[in-house]
Amino acid sequence: MNPRRQARSIRQAILAATFFCAATGACAQEVYKMVDAAGRVVFTDQPGLAPELQLAPEPDASRVPKRIAGISSPRAAAIVDAKEAARRLRQAQLIRSQGIDPLPGEKAQHAKDGVVSERYLRRQEKLRLLVEQAQRRANETSRPQVAAR
């Protein structure tokens, strides 16, 4: 190989390595991924900050699903809806059971052990409402659905 060509290849390789190293240093920050109660994904650069729990809108109890992703019969759609409501109830109960312990910053300052702050109580109330809403939805979908013929 020609010495000039070899020197040129080495310079190009060094230049490419320099650009590659410079580009990777810019994204060396840690990113934390969290999922809130509604299933939305939240990315943040601060660990331990739980996203606010938001309740889903109240479902219409009189509405019987007509068709769900290719399911043609209303009865089959009602069964799928009931199974989904039961799954969401289990998920809400799991989230609530995992949220019993106070998070960092939820204990009252300058207080003895076991004293929690208002922030903890608000979070527990949101978790309770989340489970109640899921329970109502599961109860509504488990009732026999009378289809209009």
pLDDT in tens, 28-63: 567 777 776 666 777 777 766 555 555 555 555 455
Q: Which two tokens stand for residue 124?
A: 């527990």
For residue 148, the model assigns a pLDDT of 41
**Which burial class, exposed, middle or buried, applies to 141 when counting CB atoms under 10 A from its CB (0-12, 13-18, 19+)?**
buried
Q: What are phi and psi of 42, to 5 degrees?
A: -125, 130
- Does residue 53 contact residue 127 with C-beta atoms inside 8 Å? yes
% of the chain at pLDDT higher than 70: 65
The residue extents of the domains of the chain are 1-28, 61-142
